[in-house]
Amino acid sequence: MFQPRTLLATALLALPLAATAAEGVYVGGLYSQLQYEEDGFEEVNPSAVGLVIGSQITRNLVVEGRLAFGSGADSTDTFAGEIELDVDSMLGGYVKVLAPLNDSFALYGLAGITVVEMTATATDVGISQSENDTGMSFGIGAQVMAGDKARITVEWARLVTADAYDLGGMSVGVAVNL
């Protein structure tokens, strides 16, 4: 049986080994302002911060792994009281296809797999429930090279589409070439 979490974990563990053999290896961080959308509820916008490791395989192809943790919960009022949503963790593996417009600026599309764990808390009664989901991810972004060593990225991505909700958002990242 296909286990996307096992495949993703294996790929992310192998990425540093593959990256050391390739040119264009980079590490950095990112900040994500997420959008959680579920029918019947207002949009909730938790945030996350994370680490990025990637390898630019060719001028147009990047392989990237990300690990992020919640940095800010958000809440909404419902008929049952206030519900607070926090992202506990996100783990993702992605392929980015770059379309360089010049030596320092590129647009890109990304696709991959994201595993997310979130906790919803009914704050009025103190009841919490955690949920894990895995989903196919896709997005678009822009990358600016700041000199020879640093890159700045801005992107929008749909990270997980589950039966009951969608999770996506905007991210800003900074990384340096090793």
The gap between the terminal CA atoms of the chain, to the nearest Å, is: 38
Q: How many CB atoms lie within 10 A of CB 148?
A: 7
Predicted local confidence at residue 16, as pLDDT: 53
User: What is the pTM assigned to this prediction?
Assistant: 0.85
Predicted local confidence at residue 14, as pLDDT: 54
The tokens for 31 are 């900040």
Q: What percent of the chain has pLDDT over 90?
A: 76
Predicted local confidence at residue 80, as pLDDT: 76
- H helices, E strands: number in the chain: 1, 9
Do 166 and 138 meet the contact criterion of CB atoms below 8 Å apart? no
Low-confidence ranges of the chain (pLDDT < 70): 1-23
Predicted local confidence at residue 141, as pLDDT: 98
Predicted local confidence at residue 126, as pLDDT: 86
Instruction: Indicate the Cα dihedral angle 89, 8, 112, 84, nearest 10°.
Output: -20
Rama region for 5: left / alpha / beta (φ>0; ψ in -120 to 50; rest): alpha
Predicted local confidence at residue 6, as pLDDT: 55
- CATH classification at residue 163: 2.40.160.20
By residue count, the chain amounts to: 178
Predicted local confidence at residue 133, as pLDDT: 95
Whether 178 maps to a domain, the answer reads no
Which residue, among 5, 22, 11, 75, has the nearest Cα to 45 in the 3D structure?
Answer: 75
Predicted local confidence at residue 24, as pLDDT: 84
Rounded CA separation 149/126 (Å): 47
Predicted local confidence at residue 93, as pLDDT: 97
- Structural domain count, the chain: 1
Instruction: State which residues form the domain around 71.
Output: 4-173
Whether 98 maps to a domain, the answer reads yes
The tokens for 27 are 């590490």
